[in-house]
Homo-oligomer: A and B are copies of this chain.
Amino acid sequence: MKANDPTLKSWVEVPANSDFPIQNIPFGIGFREDGAPRVVSRIGDMVIDLRALWILGYLENLPFVMEDFDSKTLNKMMEKGKEGTRELRNRLSTLFSLDNDDLSKKEHHIPQILLSIDEVTMLMPVKIGDYTDFYSSEQHAYNVGCMFRDPDNALLPNWKHIPVGYHGRASSIVVSGTDFHRPKGQQKIEEDQPPVFGPCRLFDFELEMGFITYQGKPMGDSISTAEADDFIFGMCLFNDWSARDMQKWEYVPLGPFLAKSFASHVSPWIVTLDALEPFRVSGPVQDPKVLPYLEYSGDKHIDINLEVSITPENGQEKIVSNSNYRHMYWNMNQQLAHHASNGCNINAGDLMASGTISGPEEGMYGSMLEISWKGTKPVQMPDGSERKFIADNDTVTMRGFSEKDGVRVGFGEVTAKLLQAK
């Protein structure tokens, strides 16, 4: 794919270590004070207004109408399917590459099309239909099993047979930068006392990646692991905030509910699966052998460096985790094939998240529960304070990027500040 050629350069300046070289071309929804929300892309620190590109005729002979870009969500655009959005990314790559002057020579068009990132507010990119959260990092499942069950039988019997997942709440998924309140809920603090209701005491993040789907097949049909790539539009960073004390009391037997449904945050830029192809890597050997519908061929894991930091109010940022998306046991193809194996229909704009991504060593864990090992190993903060979990007014930031052959394709960040309980 020419758009992924590592030698490609853009006539738009790209700062060193930017997540957004011309090899990325992510999609999002941007809003400028004097305009309406619309579909945008990004190179370096410049935002590309796709509605303006369409009006000025640069998106001709593509399967889109203006309403696809003059929209407050990416859903209409995604409804055109993989072929459409792939052609669109290729067109943007061509228009902004150094060896093409169709646009770069039209100096009066450029200010209508390119905006500085500082002028643009990024909004929630997708109207999410259904949201599913998987539980696909072996180290995370192992760590949780060790803490709450038995280190010798840390993984439950189904874990290596099923990409375990559950349905989550879509309405409260919000974009990076949206402040939110510490949730309240029931907790059983003393084993022999009745539960109490109040602000969560053990408030945690979960480092995850999400993928956004295209329209799938009709209800009743399944999707194979080989077909799965055709139904995945792109990926984002995902913070699956978790109220550990509420979760512990409520989750047996039907799973997490209010411990998660108060808020989750996504990064504003959806990086296409096409842009991530160069960073594919092989996954772990899966033993025991998976059932045929979960078998796959080729490299379906992706090398994405991930980090998490905590920044106290007016304080200094502290990196608390360095993980990588390649540490997943189950890949997206397996997750999607499993999800559709019972005939469940997938829509354009569904979000499926990885589950907490923990690497195999300390320092690579994706939640405070694991990092502080249930509060027994507090994190030392630069200001001398300690964190077992997340404190009021802390800002938690997750960043992620892939890098190879001198090209870095990244996601920017998902960041949010926890306000005190309302």
Contacts and interface: CB of A to CB of B under 8 A. Distances in A.
A254 B257 contact: no
A135 B172 CA distance: 22
A3 interface: no
Contacts of A256: 254-255
A109 interface: no
Contacts of A157: 188
Count of chain copies: 2
Contacts of A170: 129-130, 170
Contacts of A258: 338-339, 341-342, 344
A252 B156 contact: yes
Interface string A154-174: 001110011011111111101
A364 interface: no
Contacts of A80: none
A392 interface: no
A9 interface: no
Contacts of A188: 157-158
Nearest to A248: B158
A353 B48 CA distance: 44
A371 interface: no
B262 A342 contact: yes
- Number of chain A interface residues as a range: 35 or more
Contacts of A339: 258, 261
Given A185-B341, A255-B253, A167 B261 contact: yes
Nearest to A246: B342
Given A166-B257, A250-B164, A197 B156 contact: no
Chain A interface mostly: loop
Contact of A291 (B181, B197, B293): B197
A382 interface: no
A220 B261 CA distance: 11
B166 A221 contact: no
Given A167-B169, A197-B291, A219-B174, A156 B262 contact: no
Q: Which residue, of A129, A166, A253, A339, has the highest number of chain B Cβ atoms within 10 A?
A: A253
A194 interface: yes
A284 interface: no
Nearest to A167: B167
A347 interface: yes
Nearest to A292: B197
A375 interface: no
Contact of A129 (B158, B171, B220, B255): B171
A49 interface: no
A258 B252 CA distance: 18
Contacts of A293: 197
Interface in A329-345: 338-339, 341-345
Given A171-B130, A253-B156, A422 B220 contact: yes
Contacts of A219: 171-172, 174, 180, 262-263
A254 B135 contact: yes
Nearest to A251: B253
Interface of A: 129-130, 135, 156-158, 161-162, 164-172, 174, 180-181, 183-186, 188, 194-197, 219-222, 243, 246, 249-259, 261-263, 288, 291-293, 338-339, 341-347, 350, 422
7 contacts: A161-B195, A162-B186, A185-B341, A186-B291, A253-B255, A254-B255, A261-B344
A-B pairs, top 7 by smallest CB distance, nearest first, are: A255-B255, A183-B342, A166-B254, A167-B167, A262-B342, A261-B344, A254-B255
